[in-house]
Structure 1
Amino acid sequence: MTEVLHQIKRLLLYVMGPAYVVAGVLHFVVPELYVQIVPPVFPVALALVYLSGLAEIAVEIGLLIPRTRQHAAWATVALLVAIFPANVYMATHGVVIKGLPGGGNPSDVVRWGRLPLQGVLVLWAWWYTQPISKNSK
């Protein structure tokens, strides 16, 4: 890997980690927004929202610690796969998210765009399953 790619990878790590921490915290601040996109087939939606928020915070803190980075990256991949049904449900059932700023009715582009975006996020997390450089662990 070139030095420039190493630098980009390191920079993106410090974008990714805090972004997931913020998203995880939002699960506790406005859980009602997330409960609405949990597919009804899953019981105890609120508990799942809190659990996924806690998991987002934990794995992303783990990403920022070199010693735990690779395991946290795999955990992030698993988390993204686990929450994918919520994105599918939102896209296929036209969920209107009550309480969302701007009216709560995401466009079809946003609904369906979240599905391939999830794949990008999985690949981004997977990138960190390998060390950033020969000097990092």
Structure 2
Amino acid sequence: MPRSFRPARSALLLAGLLASAGVAHFVAPRQFDATVPRTLPGSPRVWTQASGVVELALAAGLVVPATRRASARATAVFFAGVFPANVKMAYDWRNRSPRARALAYGRLPLQVPLVLWARHAGRAEG
């Protein structure tokens, strides 16, 4: 397998993605607040901040070899768990411009490669 696709490197790249997203939850929270399903109790901001903290923790876990495997599994579960927020976004954006709708609808199938990426990142180097 090419070096760029090895699990350790993949885990570091995924950690960078998660860390960036986690920071974005605090820097620009309004865009994330809007995707929080209203069926969840409490303020959307609390859920936005909580998911940001989770993303930062998952990123940290992926960087540390001793916690990488467990963090990768947790990351896969996290990506599956936030899927309802992406569905809500797609529904909410159904009457927006074609470009905005394409963005919202395009996020839905992206969860699958993200879950697979997380699973790959947790594999032992061979």
> Shared topology, TM-score over 0.5?
yes
Q: Deviations over 1:83-127 (max 9, x none)?
A: 11110001122179xxxxxxx996221111101101110110011
Structure 1 partner of 2:115: 122
Instruction: Supply the AA of the counterpart residue of 1:62.
Output: G
Q: Secondary structure at the match of 1:67?
A: helix
Give the residue type in structure 2 aligned to 1:8.
Answer: F
Q: Which amino acid aligns with 1:126?
A: R
Change (3 A) 1:65 1:89: same
Secondary structure, aligned partner of 1:52: helix
* Distance (whole Å) between structure 2 residues aligned to residue 50 and residue 93 of structure 1: 21
Q: Distance in 2 between matches of 1:33 and 1:7?
A: 32
User: Number of paired residues?
Assistant: 123
TM-score by length of 2: 0.87
Q: 1:54-73 deviations in whole A, cap 9, x for unaligned?
A: 00000111011110000000
Which has the larger Rg? 1
* Structure 1 residues 106 and 24: CA distance shift in structure 2, 3 A: farther
Q: Percent identity?
A: 33
- The answer to whether the 8 Å contact 1:37/1:95 transfers is no
CA shift for structure 1 position 7 = 4.1
Gaps of 5+ in 1: 97-103
Match of 1:58 in 2: 57
Quote the RMSD (CA, aligned, Å): 2.1
Matched residues in 1 for 2:99 and 2:88: separation? 13
Relative contact order (alpha carbons < 8 A, sep ≥ 6): 1 or 2 greater? 2
One-letter identity of the residue aligned with 1:113: G
Counterpart mapping for 1:17-96 below 5 A: 17-44=15-42, 45-94=44-93
The runs of 4+ residues in structure 1 deviating greater than 3 Å are none
5+ residue gaps, structure 2:
none
Q: Tell me the equivalent position of 1:99.
A: none
Give the letter for the 1:12 counterpart.
S
